[in-house]
Amino acid sequence: MTTVELTRFTVAPEQTEALLAARPRMLADFRADRAGFLGAELVRLPGGEWLDIVRWRTPEDFAASRAKGANLPGIGAFFAAIGSLVSAEEGTVE
């Protein structure tokens, strides 16, 4: 079963361009450095919130990615544009 990471966060309006500019580099870094990364969708929600939906092959792949944090420049640039974390959940696709 595929593991899904659901992360909701806020972005200040003046950081929106930086977030969107960093997204392709973040995804490239994930593809190069994160075993089990299957893909991601970024959803803009009302009120300055965003939802990042990231798919992983296994829960272990997701855990290993979390342990690495912002270890590459593209990932760090994306994370730096985030204002605050609203929620983070993990689930499985049945």
pLDDT, tens digit (0-9, with 9 covering 90-100), for 34-92: 999 999 999 999 988 999 999 999 999 999 999 999 999 999 999 999 999 999 999 99
pLDDT tens per residue across span 3-16? 999 999 999 999 99
Max CA distance (Å), the chain: 38
Dist. CA 40–CA 53, nearest whole Å: 5
Task: Return the structure tokens found at 59.
Answer: 């829960």
Q: pTM for this one?
A: 0.94
Q: Where are the domains of the chain?
A: 3-88
> Phi-psi region for residue 84, left (φ > 0), alpha (ψ -120 to 50) or beta?
beta
CATH number of 3-88: 3.30.70.100
Dist. CA 4–CA 39, nearest whole Å: 10
